[in-house]
Structure 1
Amino acid sequence: MRGDRDERGQATVMIVGFAMVLAMTVAMVVDASAAYLQRQGLDTVADGAALRGADLGATGREVYTGGVPRGRLDLTAAAVRGSVHDYLAATGAYAAYPGLRFEVDVDPATSSVTVHLEAPLDLPLAVPGSPGTATVGATGSAVVVAQR
């Protein structure tokens, strides 16, 4: 004796399952694209901030009071940090990336400036079980050398 099973509704469960997987995949791709675009923007801002900070050695008070030295220029860490902060404010980076934080590393031996930026990103689509925000970071660096 064979029992007849009612198979109605089985395709519906499978279609709903595939639709959920597809929706989560789309959300993941959209979120990854948003993070990539923000990182690209932060890369540009970090490079500009590093150049402004390194340029401080070429146009700052140190050059006017002591003259242009041969080779590497001296950089003052506090002045470089102030210059980077002013650059971020002047370019509207704080408005474009709310919650923007920065760190500046100055290497006196090489007269190099490295700027690390971090900003939170509100993810456009939330994948269930994932956080709603992420932190995106970028780094830019520059070196100032006096040439005659």
Structure 2
Amino acid sequence: MTSTAASREEGQITVMTVGFLVVIGLLVVVVVNSSAAFLERRKLDNLADGAAIAAADGLSRDTFYEKGDIVLDRSQARRLVRQYVTTPGTRVARVSISDDEVTVRLERRIDLAIRPPGWSSRTRIVAEATARLTLGE
């Protein structure tokens, strides 16, 4: 009776070991891919911040000097964003402009570091930044 119980336990330990290794493997995939996506997102955030600040340079200087009002020149701001964002694979998804504020939304598709079977090998990351012009009081 002892040998039969021992052989049944050996089979259970094998199943538990295989299951444990599968769970550990999935955790490694999730951690590696999310870390890579996080780092790429940080780069895209920095690029979006710079693009928004560059677009804020599209101040309509004529309006500012004549009336003292801050108004962004829409076409100039969009042109400045497109000049600033030259990174291959990065798309300017949106440039929205109000009188004294510009918002830039960038998108980029990235390859995942580890691709498990059945998963997509690419994902999309998005970053958005806003720059606002104000007059010192």
TM-score, reference length from structure 2:
0.82
Q: Which 5+ residue runs of structure 2 have no aligned equivalent?
A: none
Consecutive unaligned residues of structure 1, counting only runs of 5 or more, are: none
2:120 matches 1:131: yes
Percent identical pairs in the alignment equals: 34
Choose the corresponding residue for 1:16, options 12, 15, 18: 18
Which whole-Å CA distance do the structure 1 matches of 2:77 and 2:12 have between them?
A: 66
RMSD: 2.2
Which residue of 44, 54, 58 corresponds with 2:56?
54
Residue 67 of structure 1 and its aligned partner are, at CA, apart by: 5.6
Compute the displacement of 1:36 (Å). Answer: 1.1
The match for 1:100 is 90
| Structure 2 residue identity aligned to 1:24 | L
Stretches (4+) displaced over 6 A:
none
Instruction: Give the whole-Å Cα distance in 1 for the aligned partners of 2:135 and 2:13.
Output: 73
Bigger relative contact order, structure 1 or 2, given CA contacts below 8 A and separation 6+? 1
Aligned residues: 131
Offset, 1:71: 3.8
Distance 2:31 2:78 in 1: 36
